[in-house]
Structure 1
Amino acid sequence: MLAALKGYPNPVRLLLFTTFTLTMARAITLPYLVVYLSAHMGLAIAQVGLLVGGAMFVASALSLYGGHLVDTLRNHTLIVTCTLLFALAFVGILASPSALPFFACLVLAYLAQTVVDIAAKAGFCALLPEAQRGEVFAIKYTFNNIAWATGPMLGVLLIELNDHLPFIVSALIGLALGLAYQQLGQRGLSAPAADEPAAGFAQVAVGLLRDRRLVCFTLGGVLSAVVFGQFTAYLSQYLVVTTQDPAQVARLAGYLVTTNAVTVIALQYLIGRRIARQHLMPWLMAGMALFVAGLLGFSVASSVPAWCLAMLVFTLGEIIVIPAEFMFIDLIAPEPLRGVYYGAQNLSNLGAGLGPMLMGAALGWMAPQGVFYLLIGSVVMAAVFYWLGTRRGH
């Protein structure tokens, strides 16, 4: 991986650093959001979940327009603006006197990070030949997982010093990134052609709906994200229902998160760089099969080693599917619309938001193990949509 990084042009390394650091800034606040809302605004846990989950849902829905901005504005301008808005959003979170402005600022922070992420993907495609894009997506995903694994731990340390410090540090990181990218970023990257007026967002959105492959792949992404987008949430729900000891639930959930993070960090680059665009469908089906095997493992696991083994298999599916999705969108996206195509792919986060809600409802009316068979059904439906999306013709 280090050899690959050294071989990339400086703008690619800067984009990787920017997305990694901005993800770290968001991850720092993760462990304290629920506590902060409960302690400082007096919200019930159900209201907190609705606010935090709703912010992610709204930001994901707006990411399609964010992708349109990537296609119509200069990459440099957009990244600088969004990193500064990210910083401003965390200042607003600290200053919010009630839940509504807090919600608006949280949506802004999530959306700003998402737009930077889409701009980086479009930048990779503009700066690198096709043969190197799968590898850089694998590196980016590995870095993101390192950020999500280490950011919350840093956040916990900051909370010990001052309960406002995580938000202040996140704001300062956004500000520093914006100022650094203003000086160091590639200014001519992804500038719209001056002689071709950009299509309006409504016109672009209608065009996206006519792309059968994109629609099928987006639906497949939503269904698969139900399964892997927030697996820790629905696994914790399942364990709470089936295990009477809260300490045991917390311990096992920690083991599973660690297993997932270590597996991704250790194997993502090794596997992701081998995924070839000429064989995307076999790779995707292998990823779907690993999801099914992992879910079956969860349904029968009765010991810590069994749970961790099932999580390892499940994570291998995640490692394959995520870069394969990136590569498929890269394959079908027209050059002037890469941003909005990646924005459409980001709609899969809607599935990540739906997963815990659907599983929470299902646990209320069926046998606990049955939820895993519902999730397997979602994987099978996702595989069907992926298959339809990879077929040629309209």
Structure 2
Amino acid sequence: MQGGAKVYVRPVILLLSATFILTIARALALPYLVVYFSQTFGLGVVDIGLAVGGALIVSSILGVYGGFLVDRFSNYRILLSAATVFALAFAVAFQVTSLVPFIIAIVVVNLSYAVIDIAVKSGIGFLVAPDKRGSVFSIKYTLTNVGYAIGPFLGMLFAKVSPGLPFAVSALIGLAFVVLYGVLGERIPRQVGSERSGDGFASVLVHLLSNYRLVCFTVGGILSAIVFGQFTAYLSQYLIVTSDPENTYHIINYLVTTNACVVISLQYLIGSRINQNNLFRMLMLGMLFFVVGLMGFCYAQVHVVWIVAMIVFTLGEIIIIPAEYLFIDCIAPEDMRGIYYGAQNLSNLGAALGPVLCGVALSFYAPQAMFYVLSLCIVLASYFYFIGSRRRG
């Protein structure tokens, strides 16, 4: 399959459609979790943060085992199963009225989405030639961002009818995808002939921990995700401390819109130029854009400076995401792509830790110090990327 000249064959298009459709379903409901937790269960801000962050952390850790399953079963079977669980979990979230079952349902939603994402990446790795994967990964990330742009808008419309309705609609979208993929999906063959194919999960974990490059890159990914994983959260924290709520609302709206426009318009143009030959140079360029963007936020006084800093920051984001995919694709054995992408998913731990770390920095130091702490995370991430890229094995 990889030798063919045509890249966007039907199996690849279906994998990309999984990203787009199920991202819309997820983004339709999850951005309103904070409001739903407050209105339905009466939770306070601290408890909501623990519930949302805890769900993300648990699903990220369990996602490693999801990657192990992706390597053991066909993509067709994994995608159908995970999408079915995704739809059922949203249906449960819509139906339950108790807090604990609701949180469990959200964990399952995040976990099944993570498994779907791993299966899509693994399928692209098998179906697409190495020199074309950068552009396909960039298309995938662009579709993810388009989904996150469309989903919350639709969710807002449904939430006006009923607070729980977005969960029901997400379940229906997930079910529609299951039907679509069940009819049109193709069984992508697994890699065969590997000595590790029969290893248990514990043995595979030992292998992962012994892979120096993977460990370095996972740590680097966690550190960089602290910076870009939930940037709206820590920027809101900063603005609340240094400004008033109305100004915070306006600036965050400008920044979210700017981020979405830059990603959608430039992701493919830039991401398609990233390949295994220039991978480390592009990684370092992305890190540089992050630091420049952070310093722009640090000293921004007017809206236009915030917007320019967001443009620069987003350039770093649209370089780092496909570069991370390509790095894992480069070092992963053919029969272990799933578990390697599952390990990469641990970078979500950084996204969960970001607002916590920034909250501590804002509590104990001058507000601008937060951006220096984040810049230090970028410097440390760059170091781990460097030693991981230079060492073999």
Q: TM-score, normalised by structure 2?
A: 0.96
Aligned to 1:132: 132
Paired with 2:112 and 2:9, the residues of 1 have a C-alpha distance of: 25
The answer to whether the aligner puts 1:290 opposite 2:296 as a matched pair is: no
The runs of 5 or more residues in structure 1 that have no matched partner are: none
Please give the secondary structure, in 2, of the residue aligned with 1:163: coil
Q: Does the 8 A contact of 1:295 with 1:376 survive in 2?
A: yes
Residues 369/81 of structure 1: CA separation in 2 closer, same or farther (3 Å cut): same
Q: Does the 8 A contact of 2:197 with 2:335 survive in 1?
A: no
1:130-189 alpha-carbon deviations (Å, 9 max, x no partner): 111010000000000011111101100111222222111100011111122111111243
Paired with 2:316 and 2:185, the residues of 1 have a C-alpha distance of: 34
| Superposed counterparts of 1:59-208, under 5 Å | 59-190=59-190, 198-208=198-208
Paired with 1:68 and 1:214, the residues of 2 have a C-alpha distance of: 15
Aligned to 2:344: 345
Aligned to 2:23: 23
Paired with 1:48 and 1:202, the residues of 2 have a C-alpha distance of: 34
| Superposed counterparts of 1:269-280, under 5 Å | 269-280=268-279
Paired with 1:236 and 1:351, the residues of 2 have a C-alpha distance of: 18
1:53-108 alpha-carbon deviations (Å, 9 max, x no partner): 11011101111111000000111111101111011101111222322111111010
Paired with 2:28 and 2:70, the residues of 1 have a C-alpha distance of: 26
Deviation at 1:195, TM superposition (A): 9.6
Residues 188/139 of structure 1: CA separation in 2 closer, same or farther (3 Å cut): closer
Equivalent position amino acid for 1:175 in 2: L
Aligned to 1:249: 248
Equivalent position amino acid for 1:384 in 2: Y
Identity over aligned pairs, percent = 53
Please give the secondary structure, in 2, of the residue aligned with 1:115: helix
Aligned to 2:234: 234
Residues 96/131 of structure 1: CA separation in 2 closer, same or farther (3 Å cut): same
1:340-386 alpha-carbon deviations (Å, 9 max, x no partner): 00111111010000000110111000000000000000000000000
Size of the aligned set, in residue pairs, is 389
Q: Does the 8 A contact of 1:27 with 1:151 survive in 2?
A: yes
Paired with 1:195 and 1:49, the residues of 2 have a C-alpha distance of: 44
Residues 201/229 of structure 1: CA separation in 2 closer, same or farther (3 Å cut): same
Deviation at 1:192, TM superposition (A): 6.0
Aligned to 1:40: 40
Paired with 1:190 and 1:156, the residues of 2 have a C-alpha distance of: 41
Paired with 1:75 and 1:35, the residues of 2 have a C-alpha distance of: 35
1:107-147 alpha-carbon deviations (Å, 9 max, x no partner): 10001011011000010111111111010000000000011
Over the residues paired in the alignment, what is the CA RMSD in angstroms? 1.6
Q: Does the 8 A contact of 1:142 with 1:264 survive in 2?
A: yes
Q: Does the 8 A contact of 1:236 with 1:249 survive in 2?
A: yes
Paired with 1:238 and 1:190, the residues of 2 have a C-alpha distance of: 48
Paired with 2:189 and 2:85, the residues of 1 have a C-alpha distance of: 21
Deviation at 1:194, TM superposition (A): 10
Paired with 2:187 and 2:386, the residues of 1 have a C-alpha distance of: 39
Deviation at 1:227, TM superposition (A): 0.4
Paired with 2:328 and 2:197, the residues of 1 have a C-alpha distance of: 24
Paired with 2:192 and 2:103, the residues of 1 have a C-alpha distance of: 33
Paired with 1:290 and 1:198, the residues of 2 have a C-alpha distance of: 43
